[in-house]
Amino acid sequence: MANRGKYGSFIVNVKGDDINVNPLTQKELAEGWQLVVPRVKSTQITLSYGNKKVKKSKKNYKIFRINISQLPEHLWNKLYPKYEDGQYSHSVARDNMYLYIVKDTPVDKEIVKLYNYLNYKHYTESKLQDIRNLLNILEDNNINGWIVLRAKMALNR
């Protein structure tokens, strides 16, 4: 059996060979790569309630606790809020077997603004200055992730 690798990795069989596939790094996400992730596997569980037996299905996700700057780009529109006792707790996005729990940061508005700037095709000097300012704010708050890396690449064009 092949070595399992780091957390979130999975094994695929290609022409009889087991190949370990690791999650993408933030650098690979910044370069625009997207990983095709297998569907989540379910496990059947039998529970007993008195003299009654009930079969339930449990999904086995690989869970990542991240901030929004680390959420893969293709999942930004699949992000939905979760509430506990009527109060907002965090946001969640699923990508087949991967479950991303996205915790808020004090600079989420700046991250979203930077994300929107990075989707522009052409940058004016004022937009580049806005990107520099947002990047400084994120770095001052120790925010890292593919968005920060892609912003740095945009500034170096």
Mean pLDDT in the chain? 88
Helix H or strand E encompassing 8: none
pLDDT of 22 over the 90 cut:
no
Residue 2: what pLDDT? Answer: 45
**23 vs 8: CA distance, rounded Å:** 6
User: DSSP characters for 40-102?
Assistant: PEEEEEEEEETTEEEEEEEEEPEEEEE-GGGS-GGGGGG-EEEEETTEEEEEEEEETTEEEEE
Summarised one tens digit per residue, pLDDT across range 99-133 is: 999 999 999 999 999 999 988 878 888 989 999 99
On the question of pLDDT at 143 being above 70, the answer is: yes
Tokens of 89: 């707790």
What tens digit of pLDDT does each residue of 40-81 get?
888 888 888 888 888 888 888 889 999 999 999 999 999 999
Nearest Cα neighbor of 76 from 134, 146, 1 is 146
pTM of the model: 0.78
% of residues, the chain, pLDDT over 70: 96
Predicted pLDDT at 1? 43
